[in-house]
Structure 1
Amino acid sequence: MQTIAVVSEHASPLAALGGVDSGGQNLYVAHVARGLAHLGHRVDIYTRLDNPGLPAQLDWYDNVRIIHVPAGPAIALPKESLLPHMKAFGQYMQNYVRDHGIDYDVIHANFFMSAMAALPLARMSGTPLAVTFHALGKVRRMHQSQNDHFSDHRFAIEEEIVRHADCIIAECPQDRQDLIDLYEADPRHIKMVPCGYDPDELAPMDKQKARQVLGWDPSAYYILQLGRMVPRKGIDTVIRALSRLRDVHKIDARLCVVGGNLSDVNLADIDEYERLSAIAVEMQVDRWVNFAGSRARHELSRYYGASDVFVTTPWYEPFGITPLEAMACERPVIGSNTGGIKYTIVDGKTGFLVPPRNPDATAEKLAILAQAPELAQTMGRAGARRAQRMFTWQQVSMQLSGIFQELGSQAAMPYGYARSLDAPAIH
């Protein structure tokens, strides 16, 4: 078995999900690390120290420890402001490995800044480097230019990483194609491994029992939207679709929005909440929209189970874990025809794909499912079978383990599959 360094500079597995900079990557890192440990590997997770009360090192799980890297002030910072601290992050990793005599078989970097920080260590030690980007700068800029606060320097860093990483882990076919088309990635160095869900955490449950616990109307048609409260998630599209569903299709529908820290501590979430609330008032559906705020992981299965349908309509989504979770709970999913969502959902089989920012199309598909409950149940069951067959964290970890062991077998070769060791450093 291997000793693996997992690098996740801004997304700690300890972070609470649902904040501005915590979400799918935190979940991915946590489950992948535990999954690899279950397979017998030893895993060190390097993540930035963002709280002075955290220990320098934490034995978090059997064969998994978290190493908190002092890089920048020990406070929570938006990821867009972390780039100047990545040199210190990388230097700390090099010193830590040297001082503790650690010989990693593989380094798995998550996000471009993690790869930037890990690349010098990989070069110094001759350790194979695998990279999961989770989001690509050029794709992000295309879809949300006004809200992209990373500098253009990100593009050059990502291009350098693509050239010199031993393996790039694409999360879906669109991710793979974007790497090839926008970054000239060598297809031979790309492996595709999706995100996943935990069957022990998310499973079907009785709808009426779940509604009773949540205090939901037992006879109304409930739409669930779950995720971070940021504009690109397209929650406004779901609110407008709700209005059309009630006014045009005459369906007694309600919308529950789970996610977002709705306290005055998180101003970004409050701003988005106020924007969405104003849209609900404008569309005259505010009494039918419930902003439930962030919920603990163990509560999510109840929300999925109580709903009739799950809707996620972002205009940009590199992968998207929530559709998998809804499918695992036997709920049909209506999702934007974008990114990883168009891979996880089988249109017409496990749910429907709709164009982003299209409330009319979303409402039409919602009406179909509301008026045909047997179809919705069939789609829900088909989604659960697909999720169980392709998208559990156990399967994800097994696929990554196979890739990492293959990379480890190449360790005797010059770094980067005989790519130049004189390649320019990333600054």
Structure 2
Amino acid sequence: MQRIAIVSEHASPLAALGGVDSGGQNLYVAHVARELARLGHYIDIFTRSDNPALPQQMNWHENIRIIHVPAGPPVFLPKESLLPYMEEFGEFMQSYVCRNNIRYDIIHANFFMSALAAMPLARNSNTPLAVTFHALGKVRRLHQAQNDHFSDQRFSIEEEIVRIADCIVAECPQDREDLIALYDADPARIRMVPCGYDPAELAPLDKQLAREPLHWDPEAFYILQLGRMVARKGIDNVIRAVGSLRNEHHVDARLCVVGGNLSDTQLGDFDEYDRLKSIAREEHVDDIVEFTGSKARGELSRYYGASDVFVTTPWYEPFGITPLEAMGCNRPVIGSNTGGIKYSVLDGKTGFLVPPKDSEALAIKLALLANNPFLAEKMGRAGAARARKMFTWRQVSTQLSDIFRELDYQHTPQYSPSAFTRLSLTN
């Protein structure tokens, strides 16, 4: 039994999923904390307060507290704007520990800014520091280019974190390779633990029964895209593929896009929504592309279950949790041959991998599944077996728990007292 501090500066487990800055990391923190608590550990989650009405401390689940850290104004801020407040975040953590006479056995920082904020506490209390980056700045810049609004300062901060952390948790083989090749990470201090899904939350449903409340055509071939509405997710690529699927392959296909806040025209989600609607009109498929906006977690099984295939073709995806969820719901997955997707999806067995930004290649694979329902069903069953065997949150957290126990037992500090002060928090 350990006392564990989970640090997630911008991604609160309480946040509604589907917004520009709320997605996989929020889900990861929430599920990992719950499963670690079920294993008997005591968990404190430190996340930035973005609402003045939030209590500074709250009991969330048994053995789990959420501490809302006052760092910067208590309003929503894009994560790219939070770096100047990380020193304040770290100072609060140290004072909180001192006031409450707490001694953590392990600190698990999620994202580079969380690690930056946690370093002084780890150093001063001689506590092992494990870091899950969830995304690496150098990889993001490679794929996002001018759309990456983080300062170049992120690169040197990540390099220092990689050098001093007791353990780096890579989420897939590509993540591990990038840490070694781009950050000169010590392979001996990298442990690979994937993301997961909850089989109690997302389970197979009868397709026709799932379609009835959605009023979906029982005979049509339905494609599901689910996730945040940001350009890098490649939803435009899926829309173009649907146009090709209908016009060139003559498949009665429909596309459902779940995700994004479509009720507030001031948000970036709405700009992307307008762009995607325009592309659907250009492809003459606007009448068969449905944008639902974000849906509650309890509704997602119905959408996965009602679809014939799940598609996700981002050009950049550090891991990607939605393919696991679709696999857990017995659905074949067609995904980009990139990041964690090429690890979770077995090409030709649980679905297909296609190049990003290649709508024709995607349309060909979609047509193959549309014309061969037996193959689609076989791939769906294989995906479900793989998801249950390798990717449940319980398995993920058990692996993390083993790593944390080992770190606590073997811990020797990897950094000097001046490590944190060498990192400037200003541009």
Give the TM-score normalised by structure 2.
0.98
Distance in 1, matches of 2:266 and 2:372, equals 40
Mapped partners of 1:410, 1:211: distance in 2: 53
Q: CA RMSD in A?
A: 0.8
Q: Residue 83 of structure 1 aligns with which residue?
A: 83
Q: What is the match of residue 95 of structure 2?
A: 95
Unaligned runs of 5+ in 1: none
Cα shift readout 1:162-209 (whole Å, capped 9, x = no counterpart): 000000000000000000000000000000000000010001001001
Aligned length: 423
Structure 2 residue 286 is matched with structure 1 residue 289: no
User: SS at the partner of 1:20?
Assistant: coil
Query: Which structure 2 residues correspond to residues 242-261 of structure 1 after superposition, within 5 A?
Result: 242-261=242-261
**Which whole-Å CA distance do the structure 2 matches of 1:266 and 1:111 have between them?**
27
Which residue identity lines up with residue 356 of structure 2 in the other structure? P
| CA deviation after TM superposition for structure 1 residue 146, in Å | 1.7
Corresponding residue for 1:162? 162
| Identity in percent | 73
Structure 2 partner of 1:369? 369
In the other structure, the counterpart of 2:9 is: 9
Amino acid of the residue matched to residue 15 of structure 1? Answer: A
Give how far 1:86 is off.
0.4
Correspondences of 1:154-303 after superposition (within 5 Å): 154-264=154-264, 266-303=266-303
CA distance in 2 between partners of 1:271 and 1:391 (Å): 34
The amino acid across from 2:179 in the alignment is L
Counterparts of 2:115 and 2:266, CA distance in 1: 28
Counterpart of 2:404?
A: 404
* SS of match in other structure, 2:410: coil
Whether the 8 Å CA contact 2:119–2:420 is kept in 1: the answer is no
Name the structure 2 match of 1:327.
Answer: 327
Could you list the runs of 5+ residues in structure 2 that have no partner in the other structure?
Answer: none
Mapped to 2, the partners of 1:313 and 1:259 lie a distance apart of 15
Partner residue of 2:74? 74
Q: Decide whether aligned partners of structure 1 residues 272 and 191 sit closer, same or farther in structure 2, where only a CA change above 3 A counts.
A: same
The amino acid that maps onto 1:228 is: R
Contact kept? 2:120, 2:420, Cα under 8 Å: no
Match of 1:142 in 2: 142
2:5–2:45 Cα contact (<8 Å) kept: yes
Distance 1:298 1:390 in 2: 23
In the TM superposition, residue 264 of structure 1 has moved relative to its aligned partner by 2.0
Cα deviation, residue 266, structure 1: 4.6
Task: Please report how far the alpha carbon of residue 410 of structure 1 lies from its aligned counterpart in structure 2 after TM superposition.
Answer: 2.2
AA matched with 2:394 = Q
Letter in 1 for 2:372: A
Asked if residue 133 in structure 1 is aligned to residue 130 in structure 2, the reply is: no
Counterpart in 1 of 2:18? Answer: 18
1:327-356: CA deviation from partner (whole Å, max 9, x where unpaired): 000000000000000000000000000000
TM-score, normalised to structure 1, is 0.98
Look up the match of 1:48. Answer: 48
1:218-273 per-position Cα deviation (integer Å, ceiling 9, x unaligned): 11000000000000000000000000000110000000000000012552000000
What SS class does the counterpart of residue 287 from structure 1 fall into?
coil
Structure 1 partner of 2:35 = 35
Counterpart secondary structure, 1:310? strand
Distance (whole Å) between structure 2 residues aligned to residue 53 and residue 140 of structure 1:
34
Letter in 2 for 1:358: D
Query: What is the alpha-carbon distance in structure 2 between the residues aligned to residue 420 and residue 53 of structure 1?
Result: 39
In the TM superposition, residue 422 of structure 1 has moved relative to its aligned partner by 4.3
| 1:293-346 per-position Cα deviation (integer Å, ceiling 9, x unaligned) | 100000000000000000000000000000000000000000000000000000
Structure 1: which amino acid aligns with 2:281? V
Match of 2:131, SS? Answer: strand
